[in-house]
Amino acid sequence: MRALAVPALIGATTLLAGCGGSHAGATATRTATTAAAVPCASRAAAVPALAHVRTAMAPLPAAPYAIVSRRRYSFVSAPGQVDVLRNGGFAPRVARRIGLPAAAGNGQPGLALTHDGRYLLVAAGSGAVVIDVHRAENGSRRAVLGRLTSATQGNPALAGSVAVAISPDDRYAYVARSRASGIAVFDLAAALADRLRRSGYLGRMPLLYGPSDVAVDPGGRWLYATSLASATGAGSGALSLIDATRARTDPSTALVHSVAAGCEPVRVALSAGGRLVWVTALADHAVLGFSRSLLFHHPRRARIAHVLVGSAPVGVLPVDSGRRLLVADSGPSAVAATGPGVTVVDVSAALAGRPAALGSVRAGVYPRDLAVPPGRRTVYVTNYGSNQVEAVNLNDLP
């Protein structure tokens, strides 16, 4: 089962990038900085296994995808549902399940919490499902408040919404739609003020290929999106810089430029302060670092770090004020004894071009996403293929 997971994912993500998309995304590019396609990496790094790291597995009722955490509770998305976990012990435990509306689809949705902690958004269908966090944590049957929906061609449930990001002031939501070729932009504050009778849909920021993930910088001025493929053809993906103000007012002109981001880039995360942008390149078995400043001014020189990690990395999470990265490697490791795992990356070494993969913590089958509850020194890892959330003690990591 482990050996089959990675090829299946690579094929599925490549197919996803090209399904049902409009070619309108090509008109949005003001400056394109793509490079010629290059062969994907043939193998992952031989990351040594880390010993004496405390871990524990918590079983889940369904295959977990994304995870976000608050101090007392965490939320995990799974096909058709969100599991509410209590963070009481070292490993979390399931408190309850929240079913999602059938019209939202049954995919693998991303999650985002508003910064005030009041609402949880679940990427689904052509937009997102909105959940009241207080009700969810307290077991109310009315935790699902409604849905954000956007205009699409064909069945909205098949738009392929896979990720959601929220502006720092909680006013706007941005949903990456992998099959509808673009980012749907919503006035979340207006939708909530209207009790979700309207979605507050402002328009679509077109991207020709993808996207697979979206993130907002701490100031709310810029968006970053990964696309599994780019105009250079198969084997080359892209990281796009997007003007968030234009995305809300004139979406068709919001794309500033795109840069090459390796083979099948799937996740994007910003370091503390947003000075560094990290991307996992699944088919390159690598995590790539980009300078925010250079992305603005010298995009062709923006990539400043390239770290080979374990096989088929997906999730990436900066920890310890950005001094370390945790990378969820979903495929078999180059070190047969470790299998899928979480690689620990030394950011200073990565930026200096030195060997930066410090070691790997063994995970379950197909680790996907990571989160750290506020005030805790424990990271939670979703193991999609073995229906588990894994707890890892951060204090035991190098």
Residue 211, preceding peptide bond in cis (omega within 30° of 0): yes
- Tens of pLDDT along 2-53? 233 333 343 333 323 333 333 233 333 344 444 445 678 778 888 999 999 9
Neighbours of 362 (CB within 10 A): 18
* CATH classification at residue 38: 2.130.10.10
Domain hosting 389: range is 2-396
* Secondary structure in 3-state letters for 23-78: HHHHHHCCEEECCCCCCCCCCCCCCCECCCCCEEEEECCCCCCCEEECCCEEEEEE
Confidence (pLDDT) at 232: 54
- Tens of pLDDT along 255-269? 999 999 999 999 999
pLDDT surpassing 60 at residue 229: yes
pLDDT surpassing 90 at residue 134: yes
pTM surpassing 0.85? yes
Which of 46, 79, 74 has the alpha carbon at shortest distance from 62?
79
C-alpha distances (whole Å) from 307 to each of 114, 218, 266, 295 are 32, 25, 15, 19
Could you give the number of structural domains in the chain?
1
Question: Any idea what DSSP says for residue 266?
Answer: E
- Tens of pLDDT along 144-156? 999 999 877 666 6
- Tens of pLDDT along 203-215? 999 886 779 999 9
d(CA 180, CA 19): 8
d(CA 139, CA 96): 7
Which residues, including other chains, have CB under 8 Å from residue 95's CB and lie 6 or more apart?
73, 84, 85, 86, 139
d(CA 41, CA 52): 31
DSSP string, 111-169: EEE-TTSSEEEEEETTEEEEEEHHHHHTT-TT-EEEEE----SS-GGGS-EEEEEE-TT
Q: Who wins on pLDDT, 266 or 337? A: 266
